[in-house]
Chains A and B, each alone.
Chain A
Amino acid sequence: QVQLQESGPGLVKPSETLSLTCIVSGYSISSGYYWGWIRQPPGKGLEWIGSIHHSGSTYYNPSLKSRVTISVDTSKNQFSLKLSSVTAADTAVYYCAREQQLGENYYYYMDVWGRGTTVTVSS
């Protein structure tokens, strides 16, 4: 059974860098698929942050691209998110998810999610 678990500081100061890790169990990242980060501000909807392929190729939300770095460590079976120059607007629950190819068109969908971790930006 594939499981994802987010970890990282729950409190980050404004202007600093938010760093989170998603540990994957039950599946080897190096075997394939994309791995993504999604966030949800309090009381609001979902926002895609970016995704990384097991090979290391990355794709970012254009609205966050200048501040986001996603990396993968296949030896530890985990991938990470860094978001720089954070403000209060970055306060959210951050989720990691697996993006698997499903259906006859082999489109990618987020089929397994972590439970999420709350990050608050405050001094």
Chain B
Amino acid sequence: EIVLTQSPGTLSLSPGERATLSCRASQSISNYLAWYQQKPGQAPRLLIYDASNRATGIPARFSGSGSGTDFTLTISSLEPEDFAVYYCQQRSTWPSITFGQGTRLEIK
């Protein structure tokens, strides 16, 4: 099973700052990686697919990069509504899906 490890566990930043979240896979997954945002009491929302493509309606301040085993989600300038938990997800070893353990982005 491919394990996704996210870091840091918690990230404390202020609105307007840049956020960089990391996701590392235990083996190469090419670019079969997604990022989801989850706010309290809500379902996850797809932000990024294929490691770097923004999903429909996702603001341009969200960007994804990486391939192979190392991936990054960047939020260029944090808005108040961006403080949430972020998960990465892979399905490189079809059909199994695995998620990272999540990074909590909190207001400093």
Contacts of B46 in A (CB 8 A): 109-111
Q: Does A102 contact B87, Cβ atoms closer than 8 Å?
A: no
Chain B positions near chain A (C-beta within 8 angstroms): 1, 31-32, 34, 36, 42-46, 49-50, 53, 55-56, 87, 89, 91, 95-102
Tell me the total A-B contact number using a CB cutoff of 8 A.
Answer: 63
Partner pick for A113 among B32, B43, B49, B53, CB 8 A cutoff: B43
A interface residue numbers (CB < 8 A to B): 36, 45-48, 51, 59, 61-62, 95, 97, 102-105, 107-111, 113-116
Known A45-B99, A107-B50; further 17 A-B contacts with Cβ < 8 A: A45-B101, A45-B102, A46-B89, A46-B99, A51-B95, A51-B97, A61-B96, A95-B44, A97-B43, A102-B49, A102-B55, A104-B50, A105-B32, A105-B50, A107-B32, A115-B42, A116-B43
When the two chains form their complex, are residues B43 and A45 in contact, meaning their CB atoms are under 8 A apart?
no
Name the residue among B43, B49, B91, B100 with the largest chain A CB count within 10 angstroms.
B43
Query: Do residues A59 and B43 form an inter-chain contact, with CB atoms below 8 A?
Result: no
Instruction: Kindly state the separation between the CA atoms of A109 and B94 in the bound complex, as whole angstroms.
Output: 12
By a CB distance below 8 angstroms, the chain A residues around B100 are 45
